[in-house]
Structure 1
């Protein structure tokens, strides 16, 4: 029987279907009120893993979650990511995983989230200008100081994951992955072998429209059989795909949030699993 729980790093017990906070508007007014309501509703629905990052509004998303949820209920893990800084470039950001940069970002995150310790901290991107051992060594020092609990990575290859584990224990990996975007299948396999949590971002992208429209018809057919939505089927497939997968679908609407949470209880038959497993791995659209 499929487990609904996972223990990250052997310490943090969470429900496998989490929530990604990136899409929550953080500006003033009614949009912010709606964001606060969505975050609170996620916890009411039993979500125990919420993902944010320094990059999401340059700290504004972290502040929003603190406003909505602090003091945090027992068992709720708010994970954040560091290693990206704002810049004047066309992209609007740059890598900054220097030891000093990471330490400053962690201190800011602690203040914004109103906590003394970040139970799961993830390196948003490996900084190509800084030796990986120096980046992870800084996070290991922060863990020794008690400011960080478990350490994770984001958007890494199998080789990078292996290299990182020589410096520090890795509890999670957050890579792009979905029913129609399986580029990081080798990374998922490595995580499963090591018992590392795998948090796919954009977990339902491409399954319902766009360039993957051919696949969308197959997903819609399974959804009809289950009286579910294609997004729910996509999430159910992820949960069935591997016991280490912890999807973090994001939304700014309560109705969509509630729809996503229902997917945790949706079970695919062996025939439906086989049908979905066999779909072409097509690229997704932004």
Structure 2
């Protein structure tokens, strides 16, 4: 198993990256984190060889005082040459709560990410559609065409889509190349296996969000615990190793605000599961 992937055919990234959602606050709606430990996580991630960070301009504490993109810029700019920063656009957050954005919302969102990260071009931008679940049967064409135009302008290097089904992926690929898909997927939630299979066949990166279950207790099933004990590893490490073993295009972007937890997660890339292990986790 290789630990690297060529994203979009031209960006070499480590298959175990870092999700930035937990950097501003420990949980959605929770209090803001102290920014310095979060900046320490980012700096340590780069030291450990992590060169793929997943973020969004709307990753911020409830009062907006701590923002993931600002933390990334403060901790890592000027950015290492090999660092790939992925972000996402689509949802709009207002006083009445989140709503799905329209095509008209997307350029301002892309520009906000460019400004907050201090970049002239974004490496990878996902169009996130729907809210909790993929909106089956809904077209993404009008919105994805806006991002494709921004790519042609040079503001975006590669395009991705998030919270989608196989039909959305096929639709998007008729408009512009899709470099990555980001869906809710983990060892306890395998509903999007068809999308993973489509990505594997097409050589498109598949990037699960909530790779450790998003706090779900049932990720710690007996089979997972048994394999973890065999390797002297944690259940989280085996869950990440399982993701990476599924497909050569699968990536993992676990998030954390703790350096110790980051180091634990990164160790998972050194665990190579056997066929027997994988059968026990099926």
| Alpha-carbon separation, structure 1, partners of 2:173 and 2:275 | 35
Pairwise CA RMSD of aligned residues? 2.2
Determine if contact 1:154/1:175 at 8 Å carries over to the other structure: yes
2:87 pairs with 43, 55, 80, which one?
80
Q: Which residue number in structure 2 is paired with residue 108 of structure 1?
A: 112
Q: Any gaps of 5 or more consecutive residues in structure 1? A: 278-286
Determine if contact 1:18/1:47 at 8 Å carries over to the other structure: yes
Q: Any gaps of 5 or more consecutive residues in structure 2? A: none
Determine if contact 2:24/2:32 at 8 Å carries over to the other structure: no
- Say if 1:122 and 1:73 are closer, same or farther in 2 by CA, change over 3 A: same
The residue matched to 2:213 in structure 1 has which SS?
A: coil
1:67-120 CA-to-partner distances (Å, cap 9, x unmatched) read 11111001101111011111233xx2111131x311111111111100100011
TM-score using structure 1 length: 0.89
1:193 pairs with 177, 201, 208, which one?
201
The residue matched to 1:159 in structure 2 has which SS?
A: helix
Alignment of structure 1 residues 225-240 onto 2, 5 Å: 225-240=230-245
TM-score using structure 2 length: 0.90
The residue matched to 1:109 in structure 2 has which SS?
A: helix
The residue matched to 2:221 in structure 1 has which SS?
A: helix
Q: Does 1:245 align with 2:256?
A: no
| Alpha-carbon separation, structure 2, partners of 1:217 and 1:275 | 10
How far does residue 53 in structure 1 lie from its aligned partner after superposition? 1.0
Q: Which residue number in structure 1 is paired with residue 185 of structure 2?
A: 177
Determine if contact 1:97/1:126 at 8 Å carries over to the other structure: no
Return structure 1 stretches of 4+ with deviation > 6 angstroms.
Answer: 26-30
**Number of paired residues?**
269
2:125 pairs with 121, 126, 136, which one?
121
Determine if contact 1:209/1:216 at 8 Å carries over to the other structure: no
Q: Which residue number in structure 2 is paired with residue 281 of structure 1?
A: none
| Alpha-carbon separation, structure 2, partners of 1:139 and 1:269 | 41
Q: Which residue number in structure 1 is paired with residue 16 of structure 2?
A: 17
2:213 pairs with 205, 211, 221, which one?
205
Determine if contact 2:89/2:126 at 8 Å carries over to the other structure: yes
| Alpha-carbon separation, structure 2, partners of 1:258 and 1:143 | 35
Q: Does 1:42 align with 2:45?
A: yes
